[in-house]
Amino acid sequence: MILRYDLSQDEIPTNWYNILPDLPEPLPQPQDPTGKSFGVLKQALPSKDLENEFSTQRYIKIPDEVIERYLQVGRPTPIIRAKKLEEYLGGYIKIYMKMESHTYTGSHKINSAIPHVYYATLDNAKFVSTETGAGQWGSAVALASALFKMKAYVFMVRTSYFAKPYRKYMIEMYGAEIHPSPSDFTEYGKKILEKDPNNPGSLGIAITDAITYALNNGGKYLVGSVVNSDILYKTIAGQEAKIQMEKIGEDPDYIIGVVGGGSNYAALAYPFLGDELRSGKIRRKYIASGSLEVPKMTKGVYRYDYPDTGKVLPMLKMYTIGYDFIPPAVYAGGLRYHAVAPSLSLLMNKGIVESRDYSQEEAFKWARIFSEIEGWIPAPETSHALPILKEIADNAKKEGEEKTVLVSFSGHGLLDLGNYADVLGFK
């Protein structure tokens, strides 16, 4: 019996996959109603990121410097067969999980942090800056920066900074400088704190903190989801998975995952979906889920909206519940974002990708079942994909037909045990 499928390091793919040329229709372009956003982006982003954002080239070569770091931090990641979960669900589905939890920072986020930082070095940036909520993205940027000897500033949402110290410690362990946001370290943060010294912060505020700090001080700002270039870099996971599934001799009927901004799901699904889009025939089912507490997947509206509360960035056409939506204190911090990546939104709008939202209670119940029977603790975010498996298994049973599912296992939950304890009532 084989439960784990590895690629050797010399089998790592050398191209990222760009879905833009294969989309059923052109992606709606960003809009700049304030007339300032495009200029800000041009100055704030690594120039290669901006070029890749609009590239129509289907495959983009991964620089050797990036491949070298991918190999260092745990790539290629394994695919694991969740045999015990299959049995638990009645035996009608085969479950293959792409384990992005097996990278050094414990999630898929390092896959794009490495190239973003690399491209900042090509611009001779003095430093990179970024925002982080619960800290997954911040820790990935901190490690990527350490690997390129680049200075990094991370602005962490103030409430998380004080409530969730472990990813903060991780960021410091990697040598990055971390500030609570809003902070008196930036002009923008100072202004907010003068008016409201107890401001808890938000991702939107932290984005503005990070961008303005980069703009004013010769740094580059890094975007950790949603945009085309970030998804492009993360397709290393899907590119690997395609080779792995071929070697296993399985063609998934379903590809599923969770959506914060949409990057880990898109990164796994797009290389598979691209083949189908080009052939003109879509056989597989693509299902992505979010959090019912931030229900953009099922209640979002497909329209132009701001990616950030500060309205610094240009408007994008996407499924959104509004840039000013204030999410409840959901523990799956990575699912708090108010909108879905433009490319994934277009595919949802065309009916090619289906969507679900699950409550935290439901997701965490499955996280516990999964931990007990499979032995590996999923991230709170990742656990929101597990109810989809139940749905697929029940349908397969009804139809009496075996189905194969590929899951984006976006991260592990070993730094989120406090969240599980709170919700599941551990004493």
Residues of the shown chain interacting with ligand PLP in the complex, contacts defined by CB under 6 A: 107, 109, 136, 225, 258-264, 334, 379, 381-382, 410-411
Q: Which is nearer to ligand PLP, 360 or 410 (CB)?
A: 410
CA distance 148 to 57: 27
Residue 374 or residue 381: which is nearer to ligand PLP going by CB? 381
Nearer to ligand PLP (CB atom), residue 145 or residue 291:
291
Nearer to ligand PLP by Cβ, of 92 and 374: the residue is 374
Of the candidates 385, 392, 393, the one whose C-alpha atom is nearest the C-alpha of residue 413 is: 385
Dihedral angle, C-alpha 96, 102, 106, 108, nearest 10 °: -60
- Contact status, residue 41 vs residue 50, Cβ threshold 8 Å: yes
**Integer Cα distance of 80 and 406 in angstroms:** 10
Contact 202, 77 (CB under 8 A): no
- Distance in Å, CB of 224 to ligand PLP, minimum: 7
| Integer Cα distance of 184 and 102 in angstroms | 36
Q: Which is nearer to ligand PLP, 23 or 377 (CB)?
A: 377
- Tracing tokens 């704030």 back to the chain, one arrives at 44
Q: How far is the CB of 232 from ligand PLP (least distance, A)?
A: 13
- Measured from the CB atom, the residue of 160 and 410 that comes closer to ligand PLP is 410
Taking the least distance from each CB to ligand PLP, the nearer of 18 and 382 is: 382
Contact 252, 272 (CB under 8 A): yes
Buried b (16+ CB within 10 A) or exposed e, 82-116: beebbebbeebbbbbbbbbbbbebbbbbbbbbbbb
The residue type of 396 is A
Closest CA to 173 of 198, 146, 137, 150: 146
- DSSP letter for 101, please: G
Instruction: Specify the pairing of strand 285-291 against strand 353-358.
Output: parallel
Cis peptide before 33 (omega within 30 of 0): no
For ligand PLP, give the closer residue by CB, 66 or 288: 288
Q: Which is nearer to ligand PLP, 253 or 416 (CB)?
A: 416
Q: What are phi and psi of 260, to 5 degrees?
A: -95, -80
Nearest distance, CB of residue 109 and ligand PLP, angstroms: 6
CB of 140 to ligand PLP, least distance (A): 9
Q: Which is nearer to ligand PLP, 212 or 264 (CB)?
A: 264
Minimum CB–partner distance for residue 274 and ligand PLP (Å) = 18
Q: How far is the CB of 259 from ligand PLP (least distance, A)?
A: 5
Instruction: Tell me how far, at minimum, the Cβ of 106 lies from ligand PLP, in Å.
Output: 8
Least Å distance between CB 239 and ligand PLP? 16
Q: Rounded to the nearest whole angstrom, what is the least distance from the CB of residue 284 to ligand PLP in the complex? A: 20
Residue pair 319/339 in contact (Cβ under 8 Å)? The answer is yes
H-type alpha helices, 174-254: 187-195, 203-217, 228-234, 236-248
Q: What is the nearest approach in angstroms of ligand PLP to the Cβ of residue 386?
A: 13
**HSE toward the beta carbon, residue 73, CA cutoff 13 A:** 30
> Which amino acid is it at 105?
T
